[in-house]
Amino acid sequence: MLKVLIVDDERLARMELIRLLGRYEDVTIVAEAANGKEALEAVKAHSIDLVFVDIKMPELNGLDFARAVHDQVHFVFCTAYSEHAVEAYELNAFDYIVKPVIPARLDAVINKARIIYETPDSASAPVDFLPDDHGLLLKFGHNFNIVRIGDIYRFESIGNHVAIYSHAGKSYLHTTLSKVESRLNPNCYFKTSRSDIVRIDHIKRIEEGMASGTFCIHMNDDSHIEVSRRQAQHLRKAFSLEI
């Protein structure tokens, strides 16, 4: 279950978000708060995965609250003021929703959280894998684009982040490669090693690698990606290269 905290000084706004989140069987709301101070106490008292927080609130606003807990929870700014988006993402915000909340936009946030926490979509999806038309909101410099899964041709593990390569450029998600892999269609993506996953239809050609029993994949963007000896065996089977 995704454990959620809702922080908003407007009671009606909290109730509306509770109603919308009620559509997901794998989401549970563990606490509510009317301001940042109450939210800090809730974070201390509960195990929380995701915080939906308004920005303009009395006493301690949403941005100051986020600064205090950015290393403890993932937070989604849910506000009527879009001008704070850049500042929010500089605080490593998980996402940013402009009120009034649109159900489809909330779906995108919850689906992204499922990747992070490996929570199955028990409410709606009989399919375990993210479809090609599923969008991820990614940051590129100071801009934010929604990128289709089908337009992402490489995932690379870098520390506690995953670099995402797409036609829109390079961006990052705070997650692990194994969690991303669990949501990707294996008919579309192939794991070349512990650090890389590539989109199969973006492969230009495959050559023998420098080390015995390995391969080197040449991508359409002219990048080269090594295939480990272990994964090379899977590659042979996947593409019927066995002799």
Domains of the chain as residue ranges with CATH: 2-117 (3.40.50.2300), 135-238 (2.40.50.1020)
Q: Which of 50, 72, 52 is nearest to 62 (CA)?
A: 52
User: What is the structure's pLDDT at 58?
Assistant: 80
Statement: residue 241 has pLDDT above 80: no
- Averaged pLDDT, 3-16: 93
Q: Which strands, in side-by-side order, build the sheet including 196-199?
A: 169-173, 161-166, 152-158, 196-199, 189-193
Reply yes or no on whether the pLDDT at 39 is more than 80. Answer: yes
Smallest Cα–Cα separation from 138: which of 121, 120, 124, 152? 152
Mean pLDDT of the chain: 84
66-118 tens-digit pLDDT: 888 877 888 898 888 666 666 666 667 788 888 889 888 898 888 888 877 76
What integer is the mean pLDDT of 191-197? 92
Each residue's pLDDT tens digit, 59-69: 788 888 888 88
142 pLDDT above the threshold of 70: yes
Separation between Cα atoms, residue 88 and residue 140, nearest integer Å: 14
- Does the N-terminal peptide bond of residue 103 adopt cis geometry, omega within 30 degrees of 0? no
Q: What is the pLDDT of residues 118-127, one digit of tens each?
A: 654 444 443 4
Q: pLDDT-based confidence at 202, cuts 50/70/90?
A: very high
pLDDT at 216 over 70: yes
Task: Provide the pLDDT for residue 127.
Answer: 40
Quickly list DSSP for 26-64. TEEEEEEESSHHHHHHHHHHS--SEEEE-SS-SSS-HHH
**Phi, psi for 23 (deg, rounded to 5):** -75, -15
pTM for this structure?
0.51
Closest CA to 207 of 197, 196, 219, 199: 219
